[in-house]
Chains A and B, each alone.
Chain A
Amino acid sequence: MSKIPNVGPVTRAITRPNSKPKASQSVLRALLRRKVVVVAIVVLAIIVVTAAFAPLLAPYDPNEQDPAASLQGASAAHWLGTDLLGRDVLSRIIFGARISLLVGAAVVVLAGLLGVTIGIISGYVGGVVDAAFMRAIDALMAIPVVIFGLALGAALGGGIGNVILALGIGTLPVFARVMRGQVLGVREMDYIKAGTVLGIGPFRNMLVHVLPNCISPIIVLMTMNIGAAILTESGLSFLGLGVAPPMASWGSMVSDGYRFITMQPLISFAPGIAIVVTVLAFNILGDALRDVLDPRLKGVLR
């Protein structure tokens, strides 16, 4: 009796063409598609490199005073001039990059870690724990970050550590909420239930399965909040509650140079421009990441 042969299970690899096993590769490619984004990435790269190799790049020691050369304009010797104490503005900006980037990154990492932890527990466990956490977050959100920073600064004194702490705590609510929202969605997915059925405990399920699937909006959030952190720190330093001299962040430089704006505008403008450029670059990158990660990643990781 002839019949269509029962070939049984498939034994050949049937892969979709153009499949992308490495999500990060395709993300990078998509990001690089827009010129603005490429520029932003280049700018950020330059800033990071500058900060990293500050001692090699800065023509002068940022704290080296030279009273004779005080308040000079741009010259061959001092490309961006000098401040009241004769310190080289360019060198101070270069070293200032370190502070700003450090603060930005530290704040975002702190807020991220705390926020994600709270969010994931809140979302996964639910119930009273969730309610308690969210009410606390609500209370925190009611206080503007700058005010929070001012209050903490006034209470604990200024200094870079307290700035980071204040801004970190002030920024964590948004991370917690976004994470919780993600978790609430992912928690209902079949693969989480499949995990439970397989015998995976809630802890492992949360860490290994829920967390990685919720992380992309957090990445976007982190990128975009670096800019905000740097700005807020600049504001706090301008108000005198940020880093302590002789450490110079861009914000404190703007503050110091404020008085001399008619005589030697570069002292304030130069760091001001640096702030604007950096924050803009981070925001562009964050924006582009969001466009790429949210809808696209769903298609790639289908």
Chain B
Amino acid sequence: MILRVDDLRTFFPVRRGLLKRKVGEIKAVDGVSFSIQPGTTLGLVGESGSGKSTVARTVLRLYQPTTGTVEFKGRDITRVSMRRLRPLRRHMPMVFQDPGSSLDPRKTVGALIGEPLLVHKLATSREAYRKRIAELIDLVGLPETAADRMPHEFSGGQRQRVAIARAIASEPDFLVLDEAVSALDVSVQAQIVNLLEDLQARLGIAYLFIAHDLSVVRHISDQVAVMYLGRIVEIGNRDEIFAHPRHPYTRLLLSAVAVPDPVIEAKRERVIIRGELPSLLNRPRGCHFSNRCPLVTPECHEIDPPLVPLSTTHAAACIRIGEAT
């Protein structure tokens, strides 16, 4: 196991007044557990307020976990000091959503890609440093001359390649991709997705792939976890989730995604979600999805549904799963 997350919670205090007294809490991540095997991809999907980005950032300690544990390659990194964490970071890089703002506009592409080598002292000589940068540039499909250019001279897709090259410079086993292809056009997105799959096949890197676009997740993931309001509502093998979604939210989500085929679309039955996302400060009692669920019963407001295993590779958090076959 590359990564193991156990009952992770990240709460953000809401403070009011001059004395900044805490009046409430935003439970952005409210009890999330999963694990990622080496060389595989876990796709974490959800809509706004689901907490998927917060999970990724908490795992990387950009936010501090409130409770729960994060284990990286068997080592508990939940409360390790920032200073001790730094050398470990070479194994846990991240690619951000916006390639425009995730690259320092004043540095050359070569300097950006090479920075991890400097920070973690991975290059034994100037020669080795330059060679590795050239290697990485080639690996991600950028032209040789890229090293001396500035980020603004490249298109969005190419900038993401730079970000990816920088991320894998330190030869990590694990990579977090936070909506890394969401800001790209379809044709470019396909290029980057292929690149990521290629790199995974070649280098054996495990991915935590955060996205809201189910079609991309379908493509790149081995495991999928669906989040809603800070919790995982369904998790399992990719094929099972997409072919046999069991949680009502997952089904609504899949129903909402339009397929580029009018013949299929005409035949599809569509169930539209009702209601609105509740405020993160004030969630429904019991199941978080209860105020919008088409299958809601009075019990749903009382019980907080745990993740029920449906098979060795599939689990969903809904008290009505067992019924109606």
Spell out A's residues near B (CB within 8 Å).
Answer: 6, 8-16, 19, 21, 189-191, 193-201, 204, 209, 212-213, 300-302
- Could you list 20 further interchain pairs (A-B, Cβ under 8 angstroms) beyond the known A9-B142, A195-B115? A8-B191, A9-B194, A10-B141, A10-B143, A13-B143, A14-B154, A15-B149, A15-B153, A16-B153, A19-B153, A21-B148, A190-B97, A190-B102, A191-B101, A197-B62, A199-B86, A199-B88, A209-B104, A301-B106, A302-B105
Question: Smallest Cβ distance from A238 to chain B, in angstroms?
Answer: 43
Alpha-carbon separation in the docked complex, A301 to B161 (Å): 19
Q: From residue 65 to 102 of chain B, which have CB atoms closer than 8 A to chain A?
A: 83, 86-90, 92-94, 96-98, 100-102
Q: Which of B62, B116, B145 contacts A199 (CB 8 A)?
A: B116
Asked if residues A21 and B150 are in contact (CB atoms below 8 Å), the reply is: yes
Chain B, residue nearest A215 (CB): B106
Measured CB to CB, the residues of B under 8 A from A are 60, 62, 83, 86-90, 92-94, 96-98, 100-107, 115-116, 119-120, 140-143, 145-146, 148-150, 152-155, 157-158, 161, 163, 166, 170, 191, 194-195
Cα A209 to Cα B252 in complex, Å, equals 44
User: How far in angstroms is the closest Cβ of chain A from B173?
Assistant: 15
A212 to B105, CA, bound (A): 10
- A199 to B, closest residue via Cβ: B89
User: Which listed residue, B88, B96, B97, B158, touches A10 by the CB 8 Å rule?
Assistant: B158
**Cβ–Cβ < 8 Å partners of A10 in chain B:** 141-143, 157-158, 191
Assess A199 versus B87: contact at CB under 8 Å? Given A8-B141, A302-B152: yes
Q: Contacting B119 at CB < 8 Å: which of A191, A198, A302?
A: A198
Also in contact, A190 and B152, with CB within 8 A (given A10-B141, A199-B86, A199-B116): no
CB < 8 Å neighbour of B102 from A8, A194, A300, A302: A194
- Across the interface, B86 reaches (CB within 8 A) one of A16, A201, A302, namely A201
B73–chain A nearest beta-carbon distance, Å:
16
For residue B88, which residues in chain A have a CB less than 8 angstroms away from its CB? 199
Q: A21-B149, A189-B101, A213-B106 are in contact. Are A198 and B62 (CB under 8 A)?
A: no
Q: Which residue of A lies closest to B120 (CB)?
A: A199
Instruction: Decide yes or no: A197 and B94 within 8 Å by CB, A12-B143, A13-B143, A21-B149 being known contacts.
Output: yes
Residues of B within 8 A of A195 (CB): 104, 115
Give 22 CB contacts A-B under 8 Å. A8-B141, A8-B191, A9-B195, A11-B141, A12-B143, A14-B155, A14-B158, A15-B154, A21-B148, A21-B149, A21-B150, A191-B101, A193-B96, A193-B102, A194-B166, A197-B89, A197-B93, A198-B170, A199-B87, A199-B116, A200-B115, A213-B106
- The answer to whether B191 and A199 touch across the interface, beta carbons within 8 angstroms, is no
Across the interface, A190 reaches (CB within 8 A) one of B83, B86, B98, B157, namely B98
Minimum Cβ distance to chain A for residue B53 (Å): 12
Tell me whether A13 and B146 are in contact (CB under 8 A): yes
User: How far, in whole Å, are A8 and B194 apart by their CA atoms in the complex?
Assistant: 8
Complex Cα spacing A201 to B115, Å: 12
Docked Cα-Cα span, A198 to B122, in Å, equals: 13
**Bound Cα distance from A201 to B84, whole angstroms:** 11
Contact in complex: A9, B141 (CB < 8 Å): yes
Contact of B106 among A6, A8, A9, A212 (CB under 8 A): A212
B104 CB contacts on chain A under 8 angstroms = 191, 195, 209, 212-213
A301-B86 CB under 8 A given contacts A193-B96, A199-B119, A204-B119:
no
